[in-house]
A and B are shown apart, each in its own frame.
Chain A
Amino acid sequence: MTAVPAQAASTDRRRLKVHETAIGDRIYEIVTTFCALVVPALVIAIAITIFAGAWPAFSKLGLSIVTSSDWDVNAGKFGAAPAIFGTLVSSAVALIIATPLAIGVAIFLSEFSPTWLRQPIGFLVDLLAAVPSVVYGLWGIFVLVPMLREHVMPFLRDTLHLGATPFFSGPAYGPSMLAAGVILAIMALPYISSVSREVLLAVPRSQREAALALGATRWEMIRDAVVPYAKSGIIGGIMLGLGRALGETMAVTMVIGNRPEISASLFAPGYTMASLIANQFSEATSDLHLSALTAVGAILFVITLIVNAVARWLVWQVSRDRAV
């Protein structure tokens, strides 16, 4: 007889517990879902803010913001063509320098490095990504730019006689598109090499063994059996490095010379979209000026978005293949 109330009590307690559990789970789910929702909300807020801010400039200036090279704040002329040109050229120079080096390091680390060297070298290269941009800029101003001016530029122009081409002609001031390209190359290198290393390590052993068994030398094995297998992942890494170089601000602002002119020579100073914003945004007073700078930011946003999306897609394809 006494068992009945006891049982009722325990059912009651259990019900209470289940109830508590359900509430706890519910709260936990709501909190974590809210945190997750912040990410898309932030992206949408950024996109809306930037494009709304850029709209007056786009509607008033039209295409001239992209095509004109006349950037005159007082006259209300905002043609960002030199900055767009500078962003694209400095990033291209960076990739031309960084890609062979980064892939070389990645091949070294995945194929040839003695085991004891693999960790330290990989770590040193990865650390390049941790160095703050402003420190690169400082080093660029006081070490890299003088070195380019005194040694590298005269060497390229006079000793190698490249001065005859438009790309390496003109006086060597120091701050230049070339300096920006070199700094960006150093900054993009760790991104390209770490992704390349990952995808090279993901190439199956059998691929290598088959090539060697067919009589390939070690280099032929890399060239014909390993690199083609990892190709789209490596390209993804290069695109990631490119995305990084396109958006880089401080280091470039400090070494590129900040002159809004389009010149074929890499020795000439230039400008980039990011450095244009960095230099003028806090001092801009007129609404159109602010809007034009925001428009430059919007163009930069779209370009990096496309580059990064393609990069992720390429890397994802390789890692998906690996998972299968």
Chain B
Amino acid sequence: MKTRLARHWISGAMIGLTYLAAVLATLPLLLILAHLLKKGASSLSLSFFTSMPKPVGEAGGGMANAIVGTLILIGIACAIGLPIGIGAGIYLSEKRSTPLAQSVRFLSDVLNGLPSIVMGIFAWKFLVRGYVGHFSALAGGAALGAMMIPLVTRTTEEMLKVVPVSLREAALALGYPRWRTSISIVVRTALAGIATGALVAVARIAGETAPLLFTAFGNQFWSTSLREPIAALPLQIFTYAISAYEEWHAQAWAGALVLISIVLVISLAARFATRSRFGAPVD
């Protein structure tokens, strides 16, 4: 039988350990951000955004092509992922318990857990080998878009679910057809939330590398053609990081700093958008 004192000591010690866990768990993020700032900021200048990569051995140069390439890929991904994801989300919230709705919910989770490299193989078979015939921006963007669909579907459904039923009933009672009710009342009310979900999905795919390895492939030159291989920031960081050259390592750090800034700004924006939504009603 443990004494009362011993039990209190154990309790105190274990609670102390949870404090320690909290410190240890926040440490990696702070360390990563600190290293990115320390090593990346020195190579970061205006020319990093405006100039092209330089060959090995020459200092300087930038990732203009990769930054533009990433934006193009995100654009393609959004063009595919947003309409389908939002449409599927609306379906799920309108028809909550049909067999299709339930299987879509389950399969969205399956897609969410699909390793991104497997999505890469799929896009390669379908688009690189099947449709275009070679590596292309289109294939890369489509792979990212397919990854966005389940994310956007589930967040859209969540956001539509919290719209009060009374709003819908009021609109229907006033003689609005169902589709107008859905678009002008329900979706309109949840728009901020749906936009937040879209932002989170963009933040997640912006940094994806694995599905681009054998779809977008990367490109050392300037290209904005959708049917040609295209450079992407994450791919460029990967290539530079595993190379053997100091100059390239410096460029990789700078690229990573840019990439994480994009991702963190989007994540923070999404975070604050949801907070104000739940705090005070905004239009």
Contacts and interface: CB of A to CB of B under 8 A. Distances in A.
Interface of A: 20-21, 24-25, 27-29, 31-40, 42-43, 45-46, 49-50, 53, 100-105, 107-109, 111-113, 121, 123-125, 127-128, 130-139, 141-143, 186, 189, 193, 217-220, 222-223, 240, 243-244, 246-250, 254, 274, 277-278, 281-282, 293-294, 297, 300-301, 304-305, 307-309, 312
Nearest to B267: A130
B115 interface: yes
Given A220-B7, A246-B115, A143 B35 contact: yes
B25 A36 contact: no
A104 B21 contact: yes
A163 B150 CA distance: 46
A39 B104 contact: yes
Interface in B114-156: 114-122, 124-126, 135, 146, 149-150, 153
B109 interface: yes
B163 interface: no
A107 B113 contact: no
Contact of B214 (A39, A186, A243, A282): A282
Contact of A132 (B86, B101, B149, B263): B263
B39 interface: yes
A252 to B, nearest CB: 10
B179 A24 contact: yes
Name the 8 nearest CB pairs between A and B, nearest first.
A132-B207, A104-B21, A35-B87, A247-B115, A28-B179, A308-B113, A217-B11, A219-B11
B1 interface: no
Given A130-B264, A143-B31, A217-B10, A49 B217 contact: no
B28 interface: yes
Given A39-B111, A134-B238, A282-B135, 20 more contacts: A28-B182, A32-B90, A43-B110, A53-B121, A108-B22, A109-B22, A121-B25, A121-B26, A123-B271, A130-B267, A132-B260, A133-B207, A133-B208, A135-B207, A139-B256, A218-B11, A250-B209, A277-B120, A305-B113, A308-B112
A134 B242 CA distance: 11
Given A104-B21, A121-B22, A301-B114, A25 B178 contact: yes
A110 to B, nearest CB: 10
Nearest to B85: A35
Interface string B193-215: 00000000001101111100110
Given A39-B149, A127-B29, A138 B110 contact: no
A137 B249 CA distance: 12
Given A218-B11, A304-B113, A125 B126 contact: no
A189 B24 CA distance: 11
A126 B218 CA distance: 30
Interface stretch (B12-20, B47-55, B56-64, B71-79): B12-20
Main DSSP-derived SS at the A contact region: helix
A32 B109 contact: no
Nearest to B179: A28
Given A42-B149, A46-B119, A112 B19 contact: yes
A271 to B, nearest CB: 14
Given A49-B126, A108-B19, A131-B260, A142 B104 contact: no
Contact of A25 (B103, B118, B177): B177
Nearest to A38: B84
A308 B234 CA distance: 26
A220 B7 CA distance: 9
B91 A125 contact: no
Given A124-B29, A135-B256, A24 B209 contact: no
Given A36-B87, A274-B117, A308 B101 contact: no
B15 A218 contact: yes
B88 A38 contact: yes
Interface size class, chain B? 35 or more
Interface of B: 7-8, 10-12, 14-15, 17-22, 24-26, 28-32, 35-36, 39, 83-88, 90-92, 94, 100-101, 103-104, 106-122, 124-126, 135, 146, 149-150, 153, 177-180, 182-183, 203-204, 206-210, 213-214, 217, 234, 237-238, 241-242, 249, 252-253, 256, 259-260, 263-264, 267, 271
Given A142-B249, A189-B25, A32 B207 contact: no
Contact of B125 (A20, A29, A53): A53
Contact of B11 (A128, A220, A247, A294): A220
Contacts of B267: 127, 130
Contact of B210 (A24, A103, A125, A133): A133
A223 to B, nearest CB: 8
Query: A33, A113, A304: which has the most chain B beta carbons within 10 Å?
Result: A33
19 contacts: A25-B179, A35-B85, A35-B91, A39-B108, A43-B107, A45-B126, A46-B122, A100-B21, A108-B21, A108-B22, A130-B203, A135-B259, A193-B25, A219-B11, A223-B14, A247-B114, A282-B135, A282-B217, A304-B113
Contact of A32 (B35, B87, B135): B87
A107 to B, nearest CB: 5
